[in-house]
Amino acid sequence: MSNIISKKKVQPTLRHGHMFSPKSRAYFAWEEGKMNTGQLNQREAGKFFPQIASGLRDILASDDQANALPPPDGKIASANQGDCAFLDEPGRHWTKHEVESHQLLTVSWYYTAAHLTRRWNYFITRPDWNPELPLSRDQFESEPFWQVQLSEQPFWSHGGALTPPNPTVHDVMLPERSGYHVLLAVWEVADTGNAFYQVIDLDFVGSDAAPAPGSPAGLRATNATASTISLAWNAPSTPASSYRLYRDNALIATISGLTFSDEGLNAGTLYSYAVSSLNNAGQESALSQSISVTTLSDNASEIPPTAPTNLHSMGVTASSASLMWGSSSSANVLQGYIVYREGDEIARVPADQLRYEDVGLAPATSLRYFVVATDVYNRLSVPSNVLRITTKQKEDDDSDNPPEPGVNQWVLNATYQAGEKVMHNGQKWVCLQTHTAWVATWAPGAVDGFTLWKEAL
């Protein structure tokens, strides 16, 4: 993948990812120069397709962020991102991949930022769909034919288990179809309200081959000690009589259930696992996506937590600053977070609290913050990124009145054009690339925002 990317002209890279194998409709357009790298990675809209409403909670994980507005009918391929509306054009002219019914299709995702993930859903158009009409919910089956789902929750306590490997590879068993069909792949994240939409155009050709068993999905480590690693996985969509577990490419067990505890391991050692399924005829599926797990050291308390991620501002007034960050992971039980201002500790918050409101500040003051995680052994992580904010001049500055004609305050969910200027946290910024501000981390001055904004002179 890196070799392919290096051939393209370097562009500002909007987060967060795309499907590159088989090549999606957007990927083909990127290769043809019809969109830049940032646009390729921004096929993003509200999660929970085919729902049409926003503000909905995940049925599996109610603590996940509620969804933003999913793309409307006719704008599914573009994810309602107007900068690449040509992706929504109906017709049979799209470049297609030849496939067969019941084929195990290897699907690969690449991320420029691997969000904490809840699931990947794969939808297919109905047998009687009409390619000459825009893609709509009625054109697709109402349920995904394939799903890879991660069940750990709450998301802020399971950063390791919910962070997908890069690239992420799935072996997806295609349903029975013939002729031209569209596969819709949706990567749903847990820590925002959004999902990433990729459309793949397929041409189903005839085949008499018997279907192979499906691969298990969602292989994950549920626990690790100095000598054991506990694993779990999800059953495939096709019936399986048993499963084969591989460690470092060697078969170690055949299991009838969906969990296994690998014992007698060495402390502080990295192990790789994959699992396959067997049907009643003894046919073995392709291996699942592999995972790597490290056993704890003999003294687990020596392992510090990982650094908190993406410290950013959720709003600034003349006397306060609202901070938010991404969760840490820890080999031990995570105790909480320590918030620092100008190098001095100002607060401690519990592990399930990923935000802090700093009040009583002086107006028109520049301040620097960082956050550190701590475990139950009082071991500290390395600091998060340093966030710089400037409080506003006075309380009147909290109004929505622009500081000068044509320069408005930055707001969430608004669409910004390249070259447009905004005010945020008392500073003026200029937009580097047309985009819709779906999440707060795309704000000017936030970690993700530096690909989208720069300070105006």
pLDDT digits (tens, 9 = 90+) for 284-320: 887 887 887 778 777 656 778 899 998 988 888 888 8
Could you name the CATH architecture of 400-455?
A: Ribbon (2.10)
Smallest Cα–Cα separation from 160: which of 289, 330, 326? Answer: 330
Query: And the tokens for 207?
Result: 């085949």
| Residue-averaged pLDDT of the chain | 85
Provide the residue count of the chain.
457
Backbone region of residue 411 per phi and psi (left: phi > 0; alpha: psi in -120 to 50; beta: other values): beta
% the chain with pLDDT above 70: 89
Rounded alpha-carbon distances, angstroms, from residue 435 to 41, 222, 310, 412, 414: 11, 38, 20, 12, 9
φ, ψ for residue 239, nearest 5 deg: -60, 140
Looking at residue 396, what is its pLDDT? 46
Rounded alpha-carbon distances, angstroms, from residue 56 to 81, 149, 163, 177, 373: 21, 18, 23, 32, 30
Highest mean pLDDT among 130-139, 232-241, 435-444: 130-139
Q: Check whether 4 has a pLDDT greater than 70.
A: no
CA pair distance 418, 14, nearest whole angstrom: 13
pLDDT digits (tens, 9 = 90+) for 313-370: 888 888 889 898 888 888 776 778 999 999 999 998 888 788 898 988 888 899 999 9
Q: Check whether 210 has a pLDDT greater than 70.
A: no
**Domain spanning 8-205 has what CATH number?**
2.70.50.50
Looking at residue 6, what is its pLDDT? 34
Of 5-9, 77-81, 141-145, 436-440, give the lowest mean pLDDT range: 5-9
State yes or no: cis peptide before 90, omega within 30 of 0: no
Q: Check whether 189 has a pLDDT greater than 90.
A: yes
2: Cα separation from own chain's centroid: 20
- Which residues, other chains included, contact 399 with Cβ-Cβ below 8 Å and sequence gap of 6+? none
Residue carrying structure tokens 């447009």: 420
Looking at residue 221, what is its pLDDT? 81
Query: And the tokens for 193?
Result: 């309200």
- pTM attached to this predicted model: 0.52
b/e per residue 43-76 (b: at least 16 CB within 10 A): bbbbbbbbeeebebebeebeebbebbbbbeeebb
Confidence grade of residue 10 (pLDDT, cut at 50, 70, 90): very low
The CATH number, out of the four listed (3.40.50.2300, 3.90.930.12, 3.30.420.40, 2.60.40.10), of the domain defined by the range 303-395? 2.60.40.10
Q: What does the radius of gyration of the chain's CA atoms come to, in whole angstroms? A: 24
Looking at residue 45, what is its pLDDT? 93
Where do you find CATH 2.60.40.10 in the chain?
217-298, 303-395
Looking at residue 339, what is its pLDDT? 95
Where do you find CATH 2.10.10.20 in the chain?
400-455
Classified as helix, coil or strand, 51 is coil
* Topology (CATH) of 217-298: Immunoglobulin-like (2.60.40)
- Which residues, other chains included, contact 373 with Cβ-Cβ below 8 Å and sequence gap of 6+? 305, 306, 307, 308, 328, 330, 334, 336, 337, 338, 380, 381
Q: Check whether 75 has a pLDDT greater than 90.
A: yes
Q: Check whether 117 has a pLDDT greater than 80.
A: yes
pLDDT digits (tens, 9 = 90+) for 11-34: 334 458 899 999 999 999 999 999
